[in-house]
Homo-oligomer: A and B are copies of this chain.
């Protein structure tokens, strides 16, 4: 039969779960400290932590660096197929989005990037990195690669707010084909620090390859999302 989860940690998890469901703990509320929890439920810290990690995996709670555990709130609904603007669709969901550029530089394609973007090795690229989130909480890190050869002068554009906007406006590039690759992974130490998560935190990796009407790759994105902040929604129309 099922290898039953331990009785004690399950009890702690159930207790907290019910407090959340009953509304005693509201989104963004802070949970009791691990030591308090352990004492009041007659167990040890290791066991309480086991329960907390379980609820974290379920997406019910999250931890902030070394400040404590909190109840999660609404996830961001994300439709990676559309060239929608992050700031817009997050605001439409009643959240307050933010976006911070971490990096913008010119690089040349190495083997891996050359094959992903279908350009020759050493072709000039623009690399862009940004941190985005909602309601003051970081949600994902995005790294974007743009082939300068196909988008002349792209480096001079204001890419801070939205690449999609620049594509549509200045380049008249429709997103003809979008290829998505979605996998569960773990955050590196650097990524985790930026996302206010412990190293190794479970994340959703989304890889996007965007092609224009001519079939050329015009954008390659790598996104690392906190697993508890995201809901991917895709709509496919074959008609």
A residues at B contact (CB < 8 Å): 1-5, 46, 54, 57-59, 65-66, 75, 81, 174-186, 189-190, 192-193, 198-200, 202, 204, 213, 227-228, 230-239
**CB nearest to A197 among chain B residues:** B3
Cβ contact within 8 Å between B57 and A200: yes
Cβ contact within 8 Å between A183 and B65: no
Q: How many copies does the complex hold?
A: 2
Contact residues in B for A175 (Cβ distance below 8 Å): 238
16 new A-B contacts, CB < 8 A, other than A175-B238, A181-B233, are A2-B189, A2-B193, A5-B198, A54-B200, A57-B186, A59-B185, A81-B234, A177-B235, A179-B235, A182-B182, A182-B232, A182-B233, A183-B230, A184-B202, A184-B204, A234-B236
Cβ contact within 8 Å between A183 and B231: yes
Cβ contact within 8 Å between A66 and B3: yes
Contact residues in B for A231 (Cβ distance below 8 Å): 181-183
**Quick one: given A59-B185, A182-B182, A200-B57, are A2 and B234 in contact (CB under 8 Å)?**
no
Distance between A116 CB and nearest chain B CB, rounded to angstroms: 14
Cβ contact within 8 Å between A239 and B177: yes
**Quick one: given A57-B202, A59-B185, A174-B238, are A180 and B232 in contact (CB under 8 Å)?**
yes
Cβ contact within 8 Å between A234 and B237: no
**Quick one: given A2-B199, A3-B65, A5-B199, are A234 and B179 in contact (CB under 8 Å)?**
yes
**CB nearest to A50 among chain B residues:** B200
Complex partner residue of A213 from B176, B189, B227, B239, CB under 8 angstroms = B239
C-alpha gap A75/B183 in the complex (Å): 10
Cβ contact within 8 Å between B233 and A179: yes
Contact residues in B for A185 (Cβ distance below 8 Å): 57-59
Complex partner residue of A202 from B179, B202, B213, B233, CB under 8 angstroms = B202
**CB nearest to A213 among chain B residues:** B239
**CB nearest to A58 among chain B residues:** B186
Contact residues in B for A54 (Cβ distance below 8 Å): 186, 200
Contact residues in B for A186 (Cβ distance below 8 Å): 54, 57-59
Contact residues in B for A189 (Cβ distance below 8 Å): 2, 4-5
Sort A-B residue pairs by CB-CB distance and give the 5 closest, nearest first: A2-B193, A184-B227, A182-B232, A180-B234, A57-B186
